[in-house]
């Protein structure tokens, strides 16, 4: 459960780019199409000769498709539950590690030392997604906004929030 402090406002919520989710989904959908095509090929080729083989092929196809639905569900859960929240006081990182495992980090905006944007490759450059690495003055590891849309805008939003927070605390 996410605890927002009294008087703290959420500025924005970030998730990985949808294109990254579709790239993860593509092999699963492709494998499902191939599985169905092979099963129907076996059914139509051997239906009149070997009825038992066609029943077995349909059973195996159904089993594979159920496993693929589970894999697609796990991919969707991982995509949707990886979230980074920027508030006017801190940054909260919630990363889904597996279906029943989640890691949450948070740090105050005043602890930010450096923000780095990393966009590698042709597709990330064209579609404008990449990683935003935030280094803090703590022993915690760097905070990485993984494969997010508009990483330079996110960097700017964090810097503006840090400046506003610094102004607020100096007054």
Q: How far apart are CA 36 and CA 64, in angstroms?
A: 9
pLDDT digits (tens, 9 = 90+) for 149-158: 999 999 999 9
Mean pLDDT of 67-85: 92
- Residue 143 CB neighbour total at 10 angstroms: 20
Angle at 33 between CA 31 and CA 39, to 5 degrees: 100
Q: 17 pLDDT exceeds 90? A: yes
pLDDT digits (tens, 9 = 90+) for 86-124: 999 999 989 988 888 898 888 888 888 899 999 999 999
Confidence (pLDDT) at 115: 93
CATH number of 10-16+84-170: 2.30.29
- Name the residue ranges covered by the structural domains of the chain: 10-16+84-170, 21-78
Ranges assigned E (strand) in the chain: 10-14, 83-87, 90-98, 101-108, 112-118, 129-136, 143-149
Confidence (pLDDT) at 152: 95
Q: How far apart are CA 29 and CA 67, in angstroms?
A: 12
pLDDT digits (tens, 9 = 90+) for 52-62: 777 777 788 88
Q: Is residue 95 within 8 Å of residue 102, measured between CB atoms?
A: yes
Give every CB contact of residue 10 below 8 A, 6+ residues apart in sequence: 4, 85, 86, 87
Give CA 66 to chain center in angstroms: 23
Q: How far apart are CA 6 and CA 8, in angstroms?
A: 5
Q: Which residue has the higher pLDDT, 165 or 117?
A: 117
Confidence (pLDDT) at 1: 59
Q: Quick check: helix, strand or coil at residue 159?
A: helix
Give the pTM: 0.81
Q: 21 pLDDT exceeds 90? A: yes
As a residue count, the chain comes to 171
The structure tokens listed for 138 are: 């703590």
Q: 141 pLDDT exceeds 80? A: no
């Amino acid at each position: 459960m996410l605890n927002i402090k009294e008087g703290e406002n959420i500025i924005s919520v970030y998730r990985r780019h949808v294109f990254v989710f579709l790239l993860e989904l593509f092999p699963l959908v492709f494998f499902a199409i191939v599985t169905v095509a092979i099963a129907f090929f076996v059914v139509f080729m051997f239906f009149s000769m070997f009825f038992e083989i066609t029943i077995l092929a349909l059973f195996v196809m159904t089993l594979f498709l159920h496993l693929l639905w589970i894999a697609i569900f796990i991919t969707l859960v991982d995509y949707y539950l990886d979230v980074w929240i920027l508030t006017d006081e801190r940054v909260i990182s919630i990363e889904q590690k597996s279906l029943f495992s989640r890691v949450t980090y948070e740090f105050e905006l005043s602890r930010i030392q450096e923000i780095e944007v990393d966009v590698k490759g042709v597709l990330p450059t064209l579609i404008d997604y990449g990683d935003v690495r935030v280094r803090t003055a703590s022993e915690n590891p760097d905070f990485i906004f993984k494969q997010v849309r508009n990483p330079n805008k996110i960097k700017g939003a964090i810097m503006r929030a840090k400046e506003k927070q610094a102004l607020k605390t100096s007054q």
